[in-house]
């Protein structure tokens, strides 16, 4: 798998996005969350929570929920993201979100930004990434073959999930994720790069 020039991004029949750090900036500080929880580095928050006792998991969930809701209520669109979503709708391209956030946090983000997404799956709706079940569920709901879809995110789990689902994995590049470039099917640095792919 290698990178493709942003100017040659293909048109896909449906587009799925990660939420935090991709479509929206919620300012979530995962290092701060880990510090407060006392969780180890290198293990996903949800994965580590699954190893805890019921009481410990409930405490962790409450802390994560507090961070997620604060981030959702103060979220803002990433540059060009809102225009891209509206443009895809104008072109009748189905748009979905697959996120490890809670359904409640996504609802708060939607209330703040009016996301206008056709289908949203959260950790309450499907196994969390990098399990591909959520992407495959979206493909089935849209009636689109996975190899005619793309999943765009900013983290290695997003690219891994896309690969496992048989979808093209797009990396939304930032200052912290250059190490994942070689794992992506294509790389974008601004959502205008994608919008041009659906422009005549």
What are the tens digits of pLDDT across the range 51-91?
777 877 778 777 777 777 777 778 899 999 999 999 999 99
Same domain for 113 and 45, yes or no, is no
Range(s) of the domain holding residue 49:
30-73
Per DSSP, the three-state class of 147 is helix
Residues 37 and 19 reside in one and the same domain: no
Do 136 and 61 share a structural domain? no
The count of domains in the chain is 2
Within this chain, do residues 133 and 171 fall inside the same structural domain, yes or no?
yes
Entry pTM: 0.82
Tokens of 181: 């470039």
Local mean pLDDT, 10-residue blocks, the chain (200 residues): 50 94 82 73 68 77 76 87 95 95 90 93 92 97 97 95 97 91 93 85
- The C-alpha angle with vertex 120 and arms to 39 and 74, in degrees rounded to 5, equals 60
Same domain, 48 and 118: no
Q: Are residues 49 and 141 in the same domain?
A: no
Q: How far is CA 22 from the centre of its chain?
A: 6
Q: What pLDDT does residue 151 have?
A: 97
127 within some domain: yes
In a domain, 43, yes or no: yes
Phi and psi at residue 178, in whole multiples of 5°? -60, -25
Same structural domain, 48 and 131: no
Residue 1 lies in a domain: no
Does residue 111 lie in a domain region? yes
Same domain assignment for residues 19 and 82: yes
Residues 80 and 68 in one domain: no
Q: Does one domain contain both 63 and 19?
A: no
Residue at a domain's end among 58, 73, 88: 73
pLDDT of residue 6: 43
- Evaluate whether residue 188 is within a structural domain: yes
17 phi and psi angles, rounded to 5 deg: -120, 150
Is residue 172 one of the residues assigned to a domain?
Answer: yes
Would you tell me how many other CB atoms lie within 10 Å of the CB of residue 122? Answer: 20
Looking at the domain assignment, is residue 187 inside a domain?
Answer: yes
Residue 130 sits in a domain whose CATH number is 3.40.50.1000
Distance, in Å, from the CA atom of 145 to the CA atom of 39, rounded to the nearest integer, reads 38
């Amino acid at each position: 798998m290698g990178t493709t020039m942003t100017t040659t991004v293909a048109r896909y029949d449906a587009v799925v996005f990660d939420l935090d750090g991709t479509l929206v900036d919620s300012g979530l500080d995962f290092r701060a969350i880990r510090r407060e929880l006392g969780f180890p580095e290198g293990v996903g928050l949800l994965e580590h929570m699954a190893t805890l006792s019921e009481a410990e998991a409930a405490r962790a969930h409450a802390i994560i929920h507090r961070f997620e809701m604060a981030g959702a209520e103060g979220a803002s669109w990433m540059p060009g993201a809102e225009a891209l979503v509206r443009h895809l709708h104008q072109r009748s391209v189905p748009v979905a979100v697959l996120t490890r956030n809670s359904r409640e946090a996504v609802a708060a983000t939607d209330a703040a930004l009016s996301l206008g997404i056709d289908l949203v799956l959260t950790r309450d709706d499907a196994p969390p990434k990098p399990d591909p079940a959520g992407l495959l569920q979206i493909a089935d709901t849209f009636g689109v073959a996975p190899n005619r879809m793309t999943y765009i995110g900013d983290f290695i789990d997003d690219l891994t999930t896309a690969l496992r689902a048989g979808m093209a994995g797009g990396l939304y590049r930032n200052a912290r994720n250059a190490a994942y470039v070689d794992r992506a099917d294509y790389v974008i640095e601004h959502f205008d790069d994608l919008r041009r792919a659906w422009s005549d």
